[in-house]
Copies of this chain bind each other. A is one copy, B any other.
């Protein structure tokens, strides 16, 4: 069964299709891609698994493919330049389409290349990780890292479609799957307390990757994200709620050099810290913070920070791209299921939270 979620941007609506074996379905893929010329951008890991079936599903079109090295460390301008070269090499023009087949790194780079090649060509997201299916592939944020920080260079460029084939999650390493669950939990925490209840009740099925549970979790995540993006595409307001846990998380990722920690793992710890700060604000009860920590721990995610040092963590948060005019705005929880983007918190409470977690953590 295929679920459909529409992202309702004025004049540029697009569908997210969610279901098993969608990449084998020629009518789904060809229906989503108008272009005659398609460059499939994939990774060295994902390409061998799924490239040929996507090629088959696009038969009749002129298809080229490019496999990029895996990992955040390669999410750079230099790698994106290889996509431009491949487009030029194939003599693809403004009416071509770039298909991103893989995880968030591939999607971010392929989308950014699509935003910039000849000032914008179509692209379609074919996410193959849970993280990409529930989060990264939706909403049009594309870009690359700079040595000074993640995603500092990029563009807003919406895909023409997102096709989330949940069968691909079977080949995902369990640690990557759990990392994706962090963003699912995030969606519940910022927007939907009932979904948090559901997650607590179905976590075992999710971890066992039972198809019905996985499809519902992906669908509900997409619905929440689609609604927020539709209300605030360029993140002038509410969309920033989706950064819950990310400012703290980015500090961990940057401190550890984007490698030891998976994105969702860093976000998991970041959400615990943000929940603790929300408690210090008097917004969450201790029992709420315990629920956040427990659901993440049950999902197999880390809930303790590494030993970054509080001062360094603050500096790393200060260079984060979500800083507004030098003042750190954070996403906190007013209640489970209700987020607020605010600079109106006690700086001392932030300092305490950082000292508690970043000084005491494991080295």
Contact call A95/B152, Cβ cutoff below 8 A: no
Q: Does A20 have its Cβ within 8 Å of any Cβ on chain B?
A: no
Number of identical protomers? 2
Chain A interface residue count, Cβ-Cβ cutoff 8 angstroms: 35
Contact call A116/B154, Cβ cutoff below 8 A: yes
Q: Which chain B residue has the least Cβ–Cβ distance from A116? A: B153
Q: Which of A88, A94, A153, A319 has the most CB of B within 10 A?
A: A153
Q: Render A80-107 as a binary contact track against B, CB cut-off 8 A, 1 for contact.
A: 0100110010010111000000000000
Q: Does A326 have its Cβ within 8 Å of any Cβ on chain B?
A: yes
| Contact flag A155-B120 (CB < 8 Å), given A77-B81, A148-B88, A326-B93 | yes
Contact of A95 among B117, B151, B319, B324 (CB under 8 A): B324
Contact call B156/A324, Cβ cutoff below 8 A: no
What is the bound-complex CA distance between A143 and B321, given in angstroms? 23
Q: Does A290 have its Cβ within 8 Å of any Cβ on chain B?
A: no
Contact call B88/A119, Cβ cutoff below 8 A: no
What is the bound-complex CA distance between A196 and B303, given in angstroms? 71
Q: Give residues 306-325 of A contacting B (CB, 8 Å).
A: 318-319, 321, 323-325
Chain B residues positioned under 8 Å from A81 (CB to CB): 77
Q: Does A130 have its Cβ within 8 Å of any Cβ on chain B?
A: no
Q: Which chain B residue has the least Cβ–Cβ distance from A319? A: B91
Contact call B94/A155, Cβ cutoff below 8 A: no
Chain B residues positioned under 8 Å from A88 (CB to CB): 146, 148-149, 152, 319
Can you list 24 residue pairs at the A/B interface with Cβ under 8 Å? A36-B325, A77-B77, A84-B146, A84-B152, A84-B153, A88-B146, A88-B148, A88-B152, A88-B319, A91-B318, A91-B319, A93-B323, A93-B324, A93-B325, A93-B326, A94-B321, A95-B324, A95-B325, A115-B155, A116-B116, A117-B153, A118-B321, A119-B151, A119-B154
* A93-B321, A155-B155 known, 6 other contacts, Cβ within 8 Å: A36-B325, A84-B152, A91-B318, A95-B324, A116-B153, A119-B156
B-contacting residues of A (Cβ < 8 Å)? 36, 77, 81, 84-85, 88, 91, 93-95, 115-120, 141, 143, 146, 148-149, 151-156, 234, 318-319, 321, 323-326
